[in-house]
Amino acid sequence: MGETFLGFNGYQWAVFAASLSVIFGGIGSCVGIASAAKMSAGVLAEDPDKFGGLLVLSILPGTQGIYGFITGLLVVVFFGLLEGDGKSIVLAQGVRIFLGCLPVMIMCLVSGIFQGMVSTAGVSLVAKRGEAAGQGMILSALVETYAVLSLVVSLFLIMAAQSG
């Protein structure tokens, strides 16, 4: 089994990191999309023509889940979790992987929820002025910036953990 930290060995820390990245990114996106999509459904009841714009607005907080998925997948593939005898990952590396995934875990969770709020506000903007869908999208994408930045840093940290 090798060394452990808080009861996990290196391999388990890597699995933990991959799982939590997907989970937290997913939660952020689910909460965000749910709030925007609920509101969209209400608007659609009145005005079915706005489906296109509302769909895009509601789907925007979905990227966080995808970033989490990418991060998780990278850990799985880079560190051979599928082959999984687990011996190849030493404890120090496993913990580094976990810490490297932290930016994505936290930022995707938080920004997904908040982007959902902005998207929801965007939906009510579209309800009043149908032509403003694009502006709503841009406002919503402002929040996403920080999920993107966290993804960039996490990618680099994971790659560094692989080579180092």
Least separation, in Å, of the C-beta of 16 and other proteins? 20
Q: What angle do CA 120, 37, 21 make, to 5 degrees?
A: 90
Residue 157 in the binding site for other proteins (CB under 8 A): no
Contact 143, 60 (CB under 8 A): no
Taking CB under 8 A as the binding criterion, the range among 57-65, 89-97, 106-114, 115-123 that sits at the site for other proteins is 57-65
Least separation, in Å, of the C-beta of 105 and other proteins? 16
> In this chain, which of 13, 16, 24, 69 binds other proteins, going by CB under 8 A?
69
Least separation, in Å, of the C-beta of 4 and other proteins? 30
Which tokens is 65 given?
């889940």
Least separation, in Å, of the C-beta of 9 and other proteins? 25
DSSP 66-113: HHHHHHHHHHHHHTTTTT---TTS-HHHHHHHHHHHHHHHHHHHHHHH
Residues 124-153 that bind other proteins (CB under 8 A): 134-135, 137-138, 141-142, 144-145, 148-149, 151-152
Contact 53, 133 (CB under 8 A): yes
Longest Cα separation, the chain: 62
Contact 44, 50 (CB under 8 A): yes
Which tokens is 109 given?
């969770």
> In this chain, which of 23, 34, 44, 73 binds other proteins, going by CB under 8 A?
73
Q: List interacting residues with other proteins (CB under 8 A).
A: 51-52, 56, 59-60, 62-63, 66-67, 69-70, 73-74, 77, 134-135, 137-138, 141-142, 144-145, 148-149, 151-152, 155-156, 159
